[in-house]
Amino acid sequence: MKESIVRAGAAALLLMSGAFAASHRNGPLLLEDQTANLNDFYIFRSWETGRSDRVVMSMSAQGFQNPSNGPSYYKFSDSVLYRFNINNSRGLDGNPDIQLDFVFKTTLRENPTFVSYFGVIDSIDSPGILLYQTYTLVVRDLKKGTQVAYDRDKNGHLLSVAPPNQGPKATPSYEDKLGRTSVFELANGMRVFAGPRDDAFYFDSSAVFDFLNFRAPAPVLAGAADQGQGAAYPAAQDGFAGYNISLIAVEAPINMLTADGSVPSDPRSANAKIGAWAATLRQIVTVRPSPADPMHFGEYVQIDRVGNPLTVELLIPLPLKDRWNRNDPVNDMQFAPFISDPIFVSAILKGVFGLNTPPAPRADLMGVFVPDITRIDLTIPPVAPGSQGYSRLGPLGGDNAGWPFGGRRIGDDVVDIGLRAAAGVLVPGFGGAPNNQLGDGVNSNDVPYLNRFPFHAPPHAGFLHSGQEGTNGRGMPTQ
């Protein structure tokens, strides 16, 4: 009886601390500010044919979007600054050297209707896009003190946000007519995209948040259970299947991101590695002179950030999550006690599951999460999902192009990687079973990724998506 109480208490601690995987709701204050709520950050070398000399970064926001949530659907906030931070010097100390800022502008076109999108939308220039969003990218070099703004592509077209995928009648041939054409190439050689996409994250969230009510064979995966897309429903269910997110993505030549403008080939080079993270910011003062529109004043202050996956969910206690989100990575040593001796390991992996885990302080976790930036070795060639040598487990599966050392690809199974890393598989003597077999049972995304920028799958259609069509957690790809 006493043991069962201890286990239940430990499980409660797990849930209060955010559980061990991204819930896309990463702090109490962000529950009230979803347009500024970041979900995931990705950085990887492109595996698109002929573009392996480029790095792709993307951030997702406003998770759990119901594809059929009309008539207004989802949009980027005009009052939020969405920022990519790149750290390429000083030993990757968590201070930015380059910043890429995305600022959005909404135009409500004159119309007598009650909807945001009217009629057949078969072009990004369709007059039926009544809620029309455009954006400006500001490229800042903090060391040189320069900044350049881009609001049009190299051909003079406004940078516009892709409209939602309403369905085969309202948005026919969505990806060819609206998805691909929302990828813009800039005069400086970058490519950008902003708009709705499938959520590339996958995880059996409902089982975990039901007090660790794992569906067999999880949480210990062996043999076939650790291969392929994972167990079929009801043995495992992707809690993110069928949902969309708001995606911002940028592709940049490698030499645009390194400190010396080179394309490094020697992993020992000081320029071989860079670190990056995403953040959202708002101006410090908002005035709401009702019935007039709100007005915003003052310096921008940080609302949310995301570097490595799982950091704020797995390691940071609930009362400190908002403080974490407002801090910069350079200040992350203040959170070292929670990262070097995480309660998730002591109370859950050891207390609940009885695993033999490394003793604190955990230098292996500190090396990944402090400062909380996703590091990428630019000398590691890209390995595409599904190709020879690819593993969803990244370096834990012999594929160094994945998280946590080779950036983070959209296909990396960060839940299983994070579970095994927390159990100590990166520490000599702790890499055997069952530590190296932990997982949630979901091994792949619900729909296939693209093999081209922005790589995230097209958004689920409002007319037909897995939530309403009963596909048991396996989404329906958009054509």
DSSP 268-312: TSTTSEEEEEEEEEEEEEEE--TTSPPEEEEEEEEEEEESSTTII
Q: Residue 254 is encoded by which pair of tokens?
A: 């490698």
Per residue in 252-295, pLDDT (tens digit) is: 999 999 999 999 999 999 999 999 999 999 999 999 999 998 89
Which pLDDT tens digit goes with each residue over 7-57? Answer: 333 333 333 334 444 556 678 888 889 999 999 999 999 999 999 999 999
The DSSP bridge partners found for residue 58 are 42, 249
Burial tier of 85 (Cβ tally within 10 Å: 0-12, 13-18, 19+):
buried
CA nearest to 15, candidates 226, 224, 245, 317: 317
Tokens matching residue 87? 């750290």
Please list, in sequence order, all residues whose beta carbon lies within 8 angstroms of the beta carbon of residue 409, skipping any fewer than 6 positions away.
42, 44, 385, 394, 401, 402, 403
Q: What is the pTM of this model?
A: 0.93
- Beta bridge partners of residue 195, listed in sequence order: 247
Predicted confidence (pLDDT) per residue in 387-435, tens digit: 999 999 999 999 999 999 999 999 999 999 999 999 999 999 999 999 9
**CA nearest 79: which of 327, 306, 285?**
285
Q: What is the pLDDT of residues 333-343, one digit of tens each?
A: 999 999 999 99
**Averaged pLDDT, 222-242:** 86
- Percentage with pLDDT > 70 across the chain: 92
Strands (E), 142-234: 146-150, 184-185, 191-198
| Distance, CA of 342 to CA of 297 (rounded, Å) | 39
- CA dist 63 and 245 (Å) reads 5
Q: pLDDT class for 476, splitting at 50, 70, 90?
A: low
Q: Is a pLDDT exceeding 50 seen at residue 469?
A: no
Closest residue by Cα to residue 451 from 404, 411, 405:
411
* Nearest partner of 314 among 26, 12, 61, judged by Cα: 26
* Cβ atoms 279, 302 nearer than 8 A: yes
